[in-house]
Amino acid sequence: MIKFSREVSEALASKKPLVALESTIISHGLPRPRNLTVAQEVESIVRATGAVPATIAILDGEIHVGLEADELDRIANEDGVVKASTRDLAILAATKKSAATTVAATAHIAAMAGISVFATGGLGGVHRGDGFDESADLRGLSITPVVIVCAGVKSILNVEATLERLETLAVPVLGFKTNKFPGFYLTESGFEIEHRVESALEIAAIWKQRAAVNTSESAVIVTNPVKVELDRTLHDTLLKNGLAEAEAKHVTGKAVTPFLLEYFHRVSEGKSLDVNVEIIKSNSKLAAEIAIAL
């Protein structure tokens, strides 16, 4: 079911460190044409650090771990590429459709392929409001053994409820050189992290110790705060107005996050987009360092 790129196949054969990269940020998280440029830059950062990038996506119903140049271009520019979580994989395989993979699906496929480290921007989580709207990312990470580097959960979500769910699901959360849980666009969300780590080697040591204590079935979340955050006043205004516009336009379910990200990018005149790009670049570099340490 899995088609490996030439570069990833060679890395697996020679046991080189690999970093899984999601494709939803390319197809649904960043605007064209910058999405393709950023995807190429992120892969280059992983290579320059000493690891091999494995961007994951579904093309014509087939799982791809690592994308050739033309395949990366398809995910970035082809219309009709859907957003797929783990529940969609069999359906997409049977219907031969193309899709970008969410955090849950990317982590699942990475684990299938034997890749232990995964870099993304921000996790999904519990949405705001009274309804029970929770990303599949949370349960997915509770049953998928992968180190995932992120900038916390997206600040458009209910961060407190998301952290409570991660605790309930027994998913460990580490702060990379911080005791503050990051807020995606913001360096901190206002919530504390119990466990702090200072290096990729320390993260690798924790990962390797999990088998000895029989806690190796879940992911380990490594939170890496953005270095230069979005102006907080601007962020809060964008969030308030974006949520109101989403409600007025009856945007629900998995359409909410891409709608709000696009709203942030458009109304902030690209300021939030710049932060988003720096997040994925920084996380990819740290993920490569962890893969090397492992």
| Cα 6 to Cα 222: distance, rounded to the nearest angstrom | 29
The confidence score (pLDDT) of residue 252 equals 81
The confidence score (pLDDT) of residue 117 equals 98
CATH for the stretch 2-229+279-293: 3.40.1790.10
Q: Taking the C-alpha atoms of 260, 261, 267 and 273 in order, what is their torsion angle to the nearest 10 degrees? A: 170
With tokens 């480290």, the residue in question is: 117
**Residue 19 near residue 284, CB atoms below 8 Å:** yes
| Cα 293 to Cα 213: distance, rounded to the nearest angstrom | 21
Burial of residue 26, with CB atoms counted within 10 A of its CB: 0-12 exposed, 13-18 middle, 19 or more buried: buried
| Cα 249 to Cα 285: distance, rounded to the nearest angstrom | 38
Report how far apart, in Å, the C-alpha atoms of 106 and of each of 72, 146, 182, 269, 271 are: 15, 10, 22, 30, 27
- The rounded radius of gyration (Å) of the Cα atoms in the chain is 18
Parts of the chain with a pLDDT under 70 = 130-131
The confidence score (pLDDT) of residue 78 equals 97
The confidence score (pLDDT) of residue 86 equals 96
The confidence score (pLDDT) of residue 131 equals 60
Q: Name the amino acid, one letter, at 115.
A: I
The confidence score (pLDDT) of residue 1 equals 81
The confidence score (pLDDT) of residue 261 equals 84
Q: What is the DSSP string of 38-52?
A: HHHHHHHHHHHHT-E
| Cα 177 to Cα 197: distance, rounded to the nearest angstrom | 6
**3-state SS, residue 60:** coil
**Residue 102 near residue 144, CB atoms below 8 Å:** no
> In what helix (H) or strand (E) does residue 84 lie, and over which residues does it extend?
strand 82-84
| Cα 84 to Cα 56: distance, rounded to the nearest angstrom | 11
**Residue 53 near residue 17, CB atoms below 8 Å:** no
| Cα 122 to Cα 22: distance, rounded to the nearest angstrom | 11
pTM value?
A: 0.95
Query: What does DSSP say about strands 147-150 and 117-119: parallel, antiparallel, or unpaired?
Result: parallel
The confidence score (pLDDT) of residue 198 equals 98
Q: Which residues are catalytic?
A: 22, 154
**3-state SS, residue 140:** helix
The confidence score (pLDDT) of residue 130 equals 64
| Cα 71 to Cα 227: distance, rounded to the nearest angstrom | 31
pLDDT, one tens digit per residue, over 126-175 is: 988 766 788 999 999 999 999 999 999 988 889 999 999 999 999 999 99
| Cα 9 to Cα 12: distance, rounded to the nearest angstrom | 5
